[in-house]
Chain A
């Protein structure tokens, strides 16, 4: 029994994808709140200025690359290239983990500069906002893990249903990537 029958004449978007868009709207609001809190707090003074550790650039390269590999994996899936699809997905997974490790290294690098969570609100904001972003990335890695289980356990077949599921992971992964770029640009401009 399939309860979620969509009515294609209205949006043409699968309900699950629409749900994801809604969830992403909520996440955007959450980060908008955090970054506007950052601006409001900064304008109040007593604000420690410091250089972001260079590890944050490596981080950025890794996450952008992972978005590209996952997109390539999706294209390979649609074109029926099984090995490429699985391989690229595995690479994305590794890159996702690498981002988390580098993020942790970035925090350690900040600590090495004697900037701790409670040194100054400017530092606290960076730790907390990047931390919440990392938590969202862990969600993405979890989704990717499930996608990998499907990729390696099920016999390879290109179906609408599986394509749709893959797209859910892909959209979310791109979202977390773009979110990171936004945060990085935000921190640099501020």
Chain B
């Protein structure tokens, strides 16, 4: 191992010098406190900003789910004790029994979805790791445009601030579901959250779209144009492929969402009828005639379906890397992994109508969408097979990062299988809008994407802060979350098969759904336990930033990728002196009797580069 370290250092010296350090006045972008920590253009700092903002939003979003889970699990219990926090949204009757305001229940469900899908699993996941890893993995000083990159974060911050403000409106935040279907979203008087709440929701998400586009443009340009010498596309580590394709998906789908919102804004405020027709509010007809709410659904899901891959692809990439490094084996089927990412990306754009099987689309058209949807199982299965084959016979390290990566594979299988049920339009007739759907998407893109994110955080924490997170707490976090997440979502499949509808405030009035009262209690208790474990993670995270075990070796895991050739406290520009060159793919583990061969090591005479095609 010592030998390899020396070779790495020599290789560093052989990289190309772009005179990055010739400016003796230091980095003009990072001279003061504000330009270093707040309005920073360094991709590593922006990554931390995305991550910590994402963590804050995750806590808010998860806390909301606990409140509505309390309602679902214990509808008869008093929650007057929440009144100091939730104020008027807890209605206390004469007997002192506090219950959750019904409109606010919907607001919580809506905000939970919006926050988790957009702010946590899009910005918090792809924003964090694309920023952190793209320049470090490809050997670049920073993004193609560090300034646009900074704007990307601050647009996200602004979007978040506006959404946060909407939580405090006297009429409440938007409450018509995270998909914001018209007419609830387009008619201001339709429910209390549809007025100011929806206005702020729309403004916030338009700003969010700007943030995603600025970030995505940058990620694509950086990966295509700024790779170091020798870093061909087929030598890219898999996370970079995943981030590239994610950014392309975002760039092509988020503008469509923006279009949908523009038309929505005109319907809400300027009297047009894009989405509205013959609607009665309080028994009085609206003037809007001729619109189609289905049009909004088409536009929304044209983004909405690629969006689920925007969420899960970065997790794919992270998990592939973490599994390979900690199994001490090359990733199985590197090219198949890349091809399956590309195949999923292409399919992502032609399956959107499977969200609309029950919206009244032509059954013949639905058949085509069923076909494409089920084809997604093929590249997904290729990936799962390759992850398992990567683990097979490996010298596996069961540390927190790798445990979460293995857990991801388990969740992706369980959640993916139920996707095959729902992808069939005939089976979707009984299962749509039930807890089966809730269970499916929470496992496959909620918890699984979170596991990918956790794997990435535990793995690259030293790269971010020069310290390690606590392993014991990390493993506790893993096992608790793994068992807890299944405890929450597994029972929901049975509820869904029995027809229990999602988004209902209370089931006590329904004889056939009331049989699940005890199961609902169980789910709520499991959710509370899992939430508590996430607090353990958050404490571990912030404690370790300042007090974690210090990273002593530059390459603590014995990994091949370039991020470990930069010094622990790398400043803006990542590598003091020359940028390293790349001579091989990222997965030479256990080759020719060596445990690992970093990408900077030149090929020996006659040695075959596994990444070359």
Binding site for B on A (CB under 8 A): 1-7, 9-11, 13, 15-16, 18-19, 22-23, 25-27, 29-34, 37, 40-41, 44, 46, 117-118, 120-121, 124-125, 128, 132
Contact A117 B144 (CB under 8 A): no
Are B145 and A16 neighbours in the complex by a CB distance under 8 Å?
yes
Contacts of B110 in A (CB 8 A): none
Given A1-B28, A117-B272, A121-B274, A7–B251 Cβ distance below 8 Å?
Answer: no
| A4 close to B144 (CB less than 8 A) | yes
A37 and B220 form a contact (CB under 8 A)? no
Q: How far is the CB of A37 from chain B (nearest CB, A)?
A: 6
> How many whole Å from B119's CB to the nearest CB in chain A?
21
- Count B-side interface residues using an 8 Å CB cutoff: 54
* B295 touching A41, Cβ below 8 Å: yes
- Docked pose: A31 CA to B256 CA in angstroms: 8
In the complex, which of the residues B227, B256, B289, B572 contacts A33, with contact meaning CB atoms closer than 8 Å?
B256
> Given that A7-B227, A11-B225, A13-B225 are contacting pairs, would A22 and B220 also be in contact in the complex, using a CB cutoff of 8 Å?
yes
A18 touches B573 (CB 8 A): no
In the complex, which residues of chain B have a beta carbon less than 8 angstroms from the beta carbon of A46? 289-290
Min CB–CB distance A170 → chain B (angstroms):
19
Chain A residues within an 8 Å CB radius of B141: 3-5
Q: Is A3 within 8 A of B273, CB to CB? A: no
Chain A residues whose C-beta falls within 8 Å of the C-beta of B273 in the assembled complex? 118, 121, 124
Given A5-B18, A33-B260, A132-B262, also A40-B295 (CB < 8 A): yes
Please choose the segment from B85-93, B263-271, B393-401, B440-448 that sits at the chain A interface, where 4 or more of its residues have CB less than 8 A away: B263-271
The reply to whether B221 and A15 form a contact with Cβ atoms under 8 Å apart is yes
B41's closest neighbor in chain A, by CB?
A3
Some 14 contacts from A to B, beta carbons below 8 A apart, are A1-B28, A5-B226, A6-B225, A7-B226, A10-B227, A13-B225, A26-B252, A30-B259, A33-B302, A40-B295, A40-B298, A117-B270, A128-B263, A128-B266
User: B254: CB under 8 A from chain A?
Assistant: yes
Chain B residues 138-178 with CB under 8 Å of chain A are 140-146, 148
CB-CB under 8 A for A3 and B146, given A19-B221, A128-B263: yes
The distance in angstroms between the C-alpha atoms of A9 and B224, with both chains bound, is 11
Residue B213, interface by CB 8 Å: yes
Taken together as a complex, chains A and B put the C-alpha atoms of A27 and B266 apart, in Å, by: 19
Asked if B253 contacts A15 (CB within 8 A), the reply is no
Verify A22–B217 contact, CB threshold 8 A. Answer: yes
A15-B272 contact in complex given A4-B145, A33-B259, A37-B263, C-beta closer than 8 Å: no
- A29-B252, A44-B292 known; A15+B217 contact, CB < 8 A: no
Please state if B259 and A4 are interface contacts (CB–CB under 8 Å): no
For the complex formed, measure the closest distance between the CB of B180 and the CB atoms of chain A, giving whole angstroms: 16
Which of A6, A19, A34, A128 sits near B218, CB closer than 8 Å?
A19
Q: Are A118 and B271 in contact (CB under 8 A)?
A: yes
Q: B299 and A7: CB pair below 8 A?
A: no
Chain B residues near A22 (CB-CB < 8 A) = 216-217, 220-221, 251
- Cα of A30 to Cα of B255 in the assembled complex, Å: 5
Contact indicator B255/A27 (Cβ below 8 Å): yes
Beta-carbon contacts under 8 Å, B184-243 to A? 213, 216-218, 220-222, 224-229
A19 and B226 form a contact (CB under 8 A)? no
Complex A-B, nearest 9 residue pairs according to Cβ-Cβ distance, in ascending order = A30-B255, A15-B144, A118-B271, A33-B256, A33-B259, A22-B217, A124-B272, A29-B255, A46-B290
Q: Are B28's CB and A10's CB within 8 A?
A: no
Other A-B pairs beyond A22-B217, A46-B290, 10, CB < 8 Å: A3-B146, A4-B142, A5-B226, A10-B224, A10-B225, A26-B213, A33-B255, A33-B299, A117-B266, A121-B291
Cα–Cα, bound, A13→B144 (Å) = 12
Question: Chain B nearest CB: distance from A98 CB in Å?
Answer: 25
Encoded as 1 (CB less than 8 Å from any A CB) or 0, chain B from 59 to 80 comes to: 0000000000000000000000
Q: Roughly how many angstroms separate A27 CA and B255 CA in the complex, as a whole number?
A: 7
Q: Return the chain B residue nearest A9 by Cβ.
A: B229
Among B254, B259, B289, B572, find the residue whose CB has the most chain A CB atoms closer than 10 A: B259
A135 to chain B, nearest CB (A): 10
Is B591 an interface residue, CB under 8 A from the partner? no
Whether A23 pairs with B217 at a CB distance below 8 angstroms is: yes
Task: Determine the distance from Cα of A47 to Cα of B274 in the docked complex, in whole angstroms.
Answer: 12
Within 8 Å of chain A (Cβ to Cβ): is B27? yes
* A123 nearest in chain B by CB position: B272
Q: How far is the CB of A153 from chain B (nearest CB, A)?
A: 22
A41 touches B573 (CB 8 A): no
C-alpha spacing A5/B572, complex, angstroms: 14
Hey, which chain A residues are within 8 Å of B229, CB to CB? 7, 9
B23: interface (CB < 8 Å): yes
List of B residues within 8 angstroms of A10 by Cβ: 224-225, 227
Q: Are B253 and A29 in contact (CB under 8 A)?
A: yes
Q: For A125, what are the chain B residues with a Cβ–Cβ distance below 8 Å?
A: 274
Q: Determine if B27 and A1 form an interchain contact, defined as CB atoms under 8 angstroms apart.
A: yes
Nearest Cβ in chain A — how far from B544, in angstroms? 29
Task: Report the separation of the CA atoms of residues A124 and B302 in the bound assembly, to the nearest whole angstrom.
Answer: 22
> Is B550 part of the binding interface, using a Cβ–Cβ cutoff of 8 Å?
no
Q: Is the CB of A25 within 8 A of B272?
A: no
CB closest chain-B residue, reference A14: B225
Instruction: Check if B258 is an interface residue, CB within 8 A of chain A.
Output: yes
Q: Smallest CB–CB gap between B255 and chain A, Å?
A: 4
Complex CA–CA separation, A90 to B595 (angstroms): 65
- Beyond A1-B23, A22-B221, whether A29 also contacts B142 by CB under 8 A is no
Q: Does B14 contact A (CB under 8 A)?
A: no
Query: Is the beta-carbon distance between B266 and A37 smaller than 8 angstroms?
Result: no
Enumerate chain A residues within 8 angstroms of B256, measured Cβ to Cβ.
29-30, 32-33
Whether, in the assembled complex, B20 has its beta carbon less than 8 Å from a beta carbon of chain A, the answer is yes
Residue in A closest to B250 when the chains form the complex, CB atoms: A26
Inter-chain CA distance A10–B291, complex, in Å, is: 48
The minimal Cβ–Cβ distance linking A139 to chain B, given in whole angstroms, is 13
Taking the closest CB of chain B, its distance from the CB of A26, in whole angstroms, is 5
> Could you tell me if B217 and A121 are in contact, using CB atoms closer than 8 angstroms?
no
B225 contacts A37, CB within 8 Å?
no
